[in-house]
Amino acid sequence: MTFDDALRSFRDRFNLPELKPLDLKLPIDRLRQQFLKIDYSSEPDAPELAEIRPLIIPGAAGPIKARLYVPLGAGVPPGPGILFFHGGGFVLGDLDSHDMLCRRLAEGSRCRVIAVDYRLAPEHRFPSAHDDALAAWAWIQEKAGAVAGIDPARMAVAGDSAGGNLAAYLCQEMVRARGPKPAFQLLLYPLLQFADIRTKKMSPQESGFFISASLFEFFKGHYLADPACSMDRRMSPLFSPIEDLRGLPPAHIIVCGWDPLHDEGLAYAAKLRSLGVHASEREYSTMVHGFLNLTHISSTARLAARDAGVVTGKALGAL
């Protein structure tokens, strides 16, 4: 099966129109406008929430935007919560691109969700996004109870793709710094290493629909001023030393069959389990990287987003 055949098969399965990959020759602002601008108004089961509220929180270099999602079943505050980092290769994505995913995580988990609009490259290169993730976590520890009704001791971190990288890094950094650790980590087809991109042979399914080797290189070149930083443990938490992994919070990792990040997600789960960290995994063998943003066309994506929330809610004692 060629890549074109694989792409056509996926498109036909969901009765999609002709879909084209991102045009990497466009200016960054145009790419951001093009990235995941989806109309979710037609979703038949979009969850109704008690509150959605904009926030401004301290970033590492100044204020950044955030958004609070409060589900109907959240209960009396302070309660458990989820700190969410969106994907997009550290270059694309924002609060709106992952709005519906956050709504469904909140509804499924019965936990308050705070999504963070961390700084993006190339305007802000490595380690800007990672520094903002740490700043958001520090704010959670100090202010989340009063501002968002969240108990910081019952706080999970979550993220998809590059956001999964930030969530995994944050957990490891708290182990290294002996700081307050998240109670749980939800990693959605996470980007766990930025070192080996072009060398491995990929099948048509693995070679990407929403992601590809060329897109990896694009993201890497924009976020990393120095290519040698690809092996930095902040960028490649999969390769962190054992002492950074022991004592990590429990994890749930979602991987997709049509995704070049498939193997590293499973490898990370196995590595954590070998060190005594509870790590569960869920594979969606016929889904593509980024499928949780396809809730407007896929009932599987809608159920998967809610199920990920349920797993997290149970881990935090909300369900």
Return the domain boundaries, the chain.
Answer: 3-315
HSE of 185, CA atoms in CB hemisphere, 13 A: 30
pLDDT the model gives residue 82: 98
CA dist., res. 7 & res. 9, Å (int): 5
Name the residue among 88, 92, 91, 87 with its Cα closest to residue 121. 91
Which residues have a Cβ under 8 Å from the Cβ of 263 and sit 6 or more positions away?
none
The CATH class of the 3-315 domain is: alpha beta
| pLDDT greater at residue 201 or residue 319 | 319
Answer positive or negative: Cα dihedral of 301, 266, 110, 131: negative
Strands (E) in 131-175, as ranges, are 150-160
User: Tokens 């045009």 appear where?
Assistant: 23
Q: Give the residue numbers annotated as catalytic, written as ranges.
A: 161, 259, 289
Mean pLDDT of 6-15: 50
Mean pLDDT taken over the chain: 89
DSSP 42: T
Stronger pLDDT, 41 or 16, i.e. the higher one: 41
Give the neighbor-by-neighbor strand order of the sheet with 49-59. 49-59, 62-71, 112-116, 79-85, 150-160, 184-188, 251-258, 279-288
Residue 21 has pLDDT above 90, yes or no: no
From CA 244, how far away is CA 207, in angstroms rounded? Answer: 31
Q: What is the CA radius of gyration of the chain?
A: 18
Secondary structure (3-state) at 159: strand
In this predicted structure, the answer to whether residue 201 has a pLDDT above a threshold of 70 is: no
What residues have CB less than 8 Å from 177, skipping those under 6 apart? none
Amino acid 128: pLDDT: 98
Residues 130-161 have pLDDT tens digits of 999 999 999 999 999 999 999 999 999 999 99
Q: Which range, of 9-23, 61-75, 298-312, averages the lowest pLDDT?
A: 9-23
Residue 283 DSSP SS3: strand
What would the mean pLDDT of 277-287 be, rounded to a whole number? 95
Q: Looking at residue 199, what is its pLDDT?
A: 52
Residue 253 has pLDDT above 50, yes or no: yes
Calculate mean pLDDT across residues 188-211.
Answer: 68
pLDDT computed for residue 259 by the predictor: 86
Tell me if 157 sits within 8 A of 312, measured CB to CB.
no
Place of tokens 């308050």: 112
